[in-house]
Amino acid sequence: MDLQKLKLPTIHARRVVAKSRLFQIESLDLEFSNGETRQYERLGGNGRGAVMVVPITEDGDLILIREYSAGTESYELGFPKGLIDAGETAEQAGLRELQEEVGLGAKRLTPLKKVTLAPSYFAAHMQLLMAHDLYPSKLEGDEPEPLVIVKWPLNHWQQLLDSDEFTEARSVNALMLAARLLGLWETTNGAD
């Protein structure tokens, strides 16, 4: 099927069915181009999105953080991340999050990809960035406890993928995109 010929469903009604401090659940009454109707529920985003940063030191280390994740009730290893504040670009938010969570700034940020998470149910996106030319720069963050900073050798990126502590899908995706951009994918996996 030609994706460019697909017609978006018509939204006949949109209602907020639940709301908390962080989330809003919407119910959508949809009609598809073939006349079928469905009611979908989705978690609404903030409209500005979020960022995740893959920091790489000049010594060739990835900088990760270990922080508590209430969803899994465990400490998870991942890259610095956070919401984009009103008036910020993704790059500004990435630089701020890097300073708040890791205590580093970056002279250069490279966009990797804009991604979604469970787009059938979650109306949000995240911009993945890679940070180079790092320098000390600390901003006060909003974390409830100090984050544990972990350095991981970039040339051991595949072992990071195998780590039971590194499971967050967006971090896995960001690592693979960074490895591909840096040419590590081809050198370790052949021309697949």
Is position 1 within any domain? no
Torsion of CA 118, 123, 124, 125, to 10 degrees: 70
Q: Clarify whether residues 66 and 35 are in a common domain.
A: no
Q: Clarify whether residues 73 and 124 are in a common domain.
A: yes
Domain assignment of residue 78, given as a range? 50-189
Is position 2 within any domain? no
pLDDT in tens, 111-164: 999 999 888 888 789 999 999 999 999 999 888 888 999 999 999 999 999 999
90-103: average pLDDT = 97
What pLDDT, on the 0 to 100 scale, is given for residue 167? 94
Q: Clarify whether residues 120 and 163 are in a common domain.
A: yes
CATH number for the domain including 64? 3.90.79.10
pLDDT in tens, 177-186: 999 999 987 6
Torsion of CA 136, 140, 143, 149, to 10 degrees: 10
Is-contact 30 63, C-beta < 8 A? no
Q: How many CA atoms lie within 13 A of 81 on its CB side?
A: 21
Q: Clarify whether residues 18 and 67 are in a common domain.
A: no
Q: Clarify whether residues 17 and 65 are in a common domain.
A: no
Question: Does the pLDDT of residue 45 top 90, yes or no?
Answer: no
Location of structure tokens 């890097």 = 98
* Top mean-pLDDT range of 23-27, 44-48, 151-155: 151-155
Question: Does the pLDDT of residue 192 top 50, yes or no?
Answer: no
Question: Does the pLDDT of residue 2 top 80, yes or no?
Answer: no
What pLDDT, on the 0 to 100 scale, is given for residue 70? 86
